[in-house]
Chains A and B, each alone.
Chain A
Amino acid sequence: MSADGRAETSTLLRVSDLRTWYPIRRGLMRRQSGWVQAVTDVSFEIAPGQTFALVGESGCGKTTVGRSILRLETPLRGEVHFEGRDLLKLEPEAMRRARQHLQIIFQDPMASLDPRMRIRDQIAEGMKSFGIGASESERLERVRVMLERVQLDPETMDRYPHEFSGGQRQRICIARALAVEPRLIVCDESVSALDVSIQAQILNLLRELQDELGLSYLFITHDLSVVRYLAHQVAVMYLGKIVEQGPTERIFEAPAHPYTKALLAAIPSVDPERRGAAPRVLGDVPSPSDPPPGCHFHTRCEFVMDRCRAQVPPLFEIEGGRSRCFLAEDSDPSRSVAQNAPKSV
């Protein structure tokens, strides 16, 4: 992998300029009065066998990115190249078939399982629709194998979801996704609803599966500590845009964007010698239907400058990734020519 973190080998998933906005309709005539700018101009790549983390707080659009890639939401524009094809341009039937290699695991393990179906039927459902397993008994055998792989007792396959604990249900969801032989799994806050001790189990399982099967993950979460353990690449999102991206260690050791810095500083540490850090952001997250002009983050930024209020910063290249901040402009090699001349020191 090159120094700036972008894969030089073949790319499994390439997202380009993804934009998912929802129209806001008001009034009797349901006229459109604006947009909820959930995801704006997001681009990134994921290589095979890699974990890419999408991090941010509520309203940042990370879940919408995950769902847009799977076309569970409808993007306004952009491209999602998976296995060589642009998913957004596929016909419904072709999309349905493409879904086999692109699976998703949701946050709430209870809501992700149909309460009225036995778990064996739910794990087998994907197999049936993609034609995996020639007969009922073959599929059953595969269900058994899947359950063992996620460390659940295959004898429990006739039970219903409510008879399992939260962690076990999440394992069932993982088994269900694995059953169709995916290449990339979108993990949408998949461990956020679990207790810390169960979280560790699930994270270890995901790691093992990645090593064993060469899976890629798009790991969506608000919990930066989980990211550090699992991800190779991290992208931080704020109000629909990627504000910083880079290899995991660089993000944690040397965050460039003020929001990333604030996010890291906000994580309460368990080190008994470290406590009482003052919060580095003021105020609350603005609404995605009415984002601030210029740089979306300027209303809460401790380094805000005048130009931040008026101009929208592009993603600048920096050492070890990209940052959407005018503070990074000077270190962007491609900008140095244009910027150096008129500036007075």
Chain B
Amino acid sequence: MMGLEAYVFSNIMTAALLAGAWLLVRVVRRQRLWREAAQQLWGRRKLAIIIVGIYLLIGLLDSVAWKGGVPEDSVGVLPNAPLTLIDRVFLGTLEASYSAPFAAVEFYGAMPLQRPGSHLFGTDILGRDVLYLSLKGARVALLIGGLTSLIAIPLALVFGVGAGYFGGRFDDFVFFLISTLASMPGLLLLIALIMAMGRDTLSVCVALGVTSWVGFCRLSRAETLKLRELDYVSAARALGVSELGIIVRHILPNLAHLIVITFVLMFSGLVLSEVVLSWLGIGVDGSWGQMIDGARNELSREPIIWWNIAAAGSALFGLILAVNIVGDGIRDVLDPRTRKSLS
């Protein structure tokens, strides 16, 4: 991030992410086991997968920003600010203040709106289109869920698989680490970390990652302990495979189903955690959690301003529900116990 502007960094990360995703697809396509699992999943959970795909698309559209191309008279935007596609679609939709969905006038004072009847979810206190805010929140949610998992899971794997496979003092050390972390009140630790590291998205993700790897660490350690005793691991050793080779070629692939399932389930937990953080005032800017928190006061107004919280809440609910349904489907398809075997 030195010398790079934030939006350029974000563009690069997005490109890297897409490249990584494409590689993953290639790997899955090559292995028949994974290919068949993916096909089965698609067959069973089409709708949920499509919904998650829509969220992903929206997040993607909000991830690539560039400067320029902004008309001179745009309200509320600096002329040289980097704007994403979503930003540009909603350019010029700024109103003065609250307005109800599809309304033609402002909520208080009945002043006519710039774009009457075109705000699907109305506008917020600053006059910003609520639909626009909800769409932008998608990217934040995906980052919180996805990026954090990408931090937490490798961390958990390194410690968990290492402890389970090698045992001895490393295991004792990891056990000590886990017990210590688990004994601390998670929320307080989280707050302390965020206070220390800053409130930007990356810091919050790192803080969340550091406080949520313990569960999967235990799980991967337990599973590794079990796998380590299996005959095919001994067979690999007898075939001259090095210990590292065994971990990479035999242990990790047999943990893959757990990794995928954990990733998906962690995702929803993390997004919901961020809502709580927002309520405490340390959430990520632009997240649905912040919208919901900000809308608290509005609910006590007379008459009620409900569209803010409704939009954010529905968007949140939609993503979490879809992710959980897909996650359930993945578990059914990948778990060797519930999978239909051919023997």
Give the total number of A-B pairs whose CB atoms are below 8 A apart. 77
Across the interface, A104 reaches (CB within 8 A) one of B230, B238, B240, B336, namely: B238
Closest to B234 in A: A72
Cross-chain contact A129 with B240 (CB below 8 angstroms): yes
- When A114-B232, A116-B254 are in contact, do A126 and B342 touch as well, CB less than 8 Å? no
Chain B residues, CB < 8 A from A250: none
Give the CA-CA distance A25 to B239 in the complex, in Å: 32
Cross-chain contact A106 with B239 (CB below 8 angstroms): no
Closest Cβ of chain B: how far from A147's Cβ, in Å?
Answer: 17
Say whether B259 faces chain A, with CB atoms less than 8 Å apart: no
Say whether A248 faces chain B, with CB atoms less than 8 Å apart: no
Chain B residues, CB < 8 A from A125: 236, 239, 241, 249
- The residues in A between 152 and 195 inclusive whose CB is less than 8 angstroms from any CB of B are 158, 160, 162-165, 173, 176, 180
Contact with A along B225-261 (1 / 0, CB 8 A): 0000011101111111110010001100110100000
Cross-chain contact B231 with A162 (CB below 8 angstroms): no
- When A125-B236, A126-B240 are in contact, do A111 and B343 touch as well, CB less than 8 Å? no
Chain A residues, CB < 8 A from B234: 67, 72, 104, 106
Chain A residues, CB < 8 A from B238: 70, 72, 99, 102-104
Closest Cβ of chain B: how far from A202's Cβ, in Å?
Answer: 17
Across the interface, A116 reaches (CB within 8 A) one of B239, B241, B256, B341, namely: B256
Question: Most chain-A CB neighbours within 10 Å: which of B235, B236, B239?
Answer: B239
Give the CA-CA distance A97 to B33 in the complex, in Å: 32
Chain A residues, CB < 8 A from B343: 162-165
Give the CA-CA distance A162 to B32 in the complex, in Å: 13
Cross-chain contact B230 with A99 (CB below 8 angstroms): no
Contact with A along B316-331 (1 / 0, CB 8 A): 0000000000000000
Q: How large is the interface on A (under 10, 10 to 19, 20 to 34, 35 or more residues)?
A: 35 or more
Cross-chain contact A111 with B230 (CB below 8 angstroms): yes
Closest to B237 in A: A72
Give the CA-CA distance A117 to B250 in the complex, in Å: 8
Closest Cβ of chain A: how far from B38's Cβ, in Å?
Answer: 15
Cross-chain contact B235 with A106 (CB below 8 angstroms): yes
- The residues in A between 107 and 130 inclusive whose CB is less than 8 angstroms from any CB of B are 107-108, 111-118, 122, 125-126, 129-130
Cross-chain contact A173 with B235 (CB below 8 angstroms): yes
Cross-chain contact B240 with A100 (CB below 8 angstroms): yes
Cross-chain contact B245 with A162 (CB below 8 angstroms): no
Chain A residues, CB < 8 A from B235: 104, 106, 112-113, 173, 176
Say whether A96 faces chain B, with CB atoms less than 8 Å apart: yes
Chain B residues, CB < 8 A from A158: 32
Across the interface, A115 reaches (CB within 8 A) one of B240, B241, B254, namely: B254
Cross-chain contact B232 with A111 (CB below 8 angstroms): yes
Q: How many B residues have CB within 8 A of the partner chain?
A: 24
Chain A residues, CB < 8 A from B241: 125-126, 129
Give the CA-CA distance A160 to B241 in the complex, in Å: 20
Chain A residues, CB < 8 A from B250: 114, 117
Give the CA-CA distance A158 to B242 in the complex, in Å: 24
Across the interface, B341 reaches (CB within 8 A) one of A108, A118, A129, A162, namely: A162
Across the interface, B242 reaches (CB within 8 A) one of A96, A106, A114, A118, namely: A96
Closest to B254 in A: A116
Give the CA-CA distance A45 to B238 in the complex, in Å: 21
Give the CA-CA distance A122 to B129 in the complex, in Å: 58
Give the CA-CA distance A158 to B343 in the complex, in Å: 16
Closest Cβ of chain B: how far from A72's Cβ, in Å?
Answer: 5
Closest to A124 in B: B239
Chain B residues, CB < 8 A from A103: 238-239
Across the interface, A180 reaches (CB within 8 A) one of B32, B240, B245, B342, namely: B240
Closest Cβ of chain B: how far from A117's Cβ, in Å?
Answer: 7
Cross-chain contact A116 with B240 (CB below 8 angstroms): no
Contact with B along A116-148 (1 / 0, CB 8 A): 111000100110011000000000000000000
Give the CA-CA distance A116 to B250 in the complex, in Å: 8
Cross-chain contact A116 with B253 (CB below 8 angstroms): yes
- When A106-B231, A116-B33, A162-B343 are in contact, do A176 and B254 touch as well, CB less than 8 Å? no
Closest Cβ of chain B: how far from A175's Cβ, in Å?
Answer: 12
Closest Cβ of chain B: how far from A315's Cβ, in Å?
Answer: 30
Give the CA-CA distance A163 to B343 in the complex, in Å: 6
Chain A residues, CB < 8 A from B230: 111
> Can you name 12 A-B pairs with beta carbons within 8 Å?
A102-B238, A104-B238, A111-B231, A112-B235, A114-B232, A114-B250, A115-B336, A122-B232, A125-B236, A125-B241, A126-B239, A130-B239
Interface residues of B (CB under 8 A from A): 32-33, 230-232, 234-242, 245, 249-250, 253-254, 256, 336, 341-343
Interface residues of A (CB under 8 A from B): 67, 70, 72, 96-97, 99-100, 102-104, 106-108, 111-118, 122, 125-126, 129-130, 158, 160, 162-165, 173, 176, 180
Which 7 A/B pairs are nearest by Cβ-Cβ distance? A126-B239, A129-B240, A112-B231, A111-B231, A106-B231, A114-B232, A116-B253
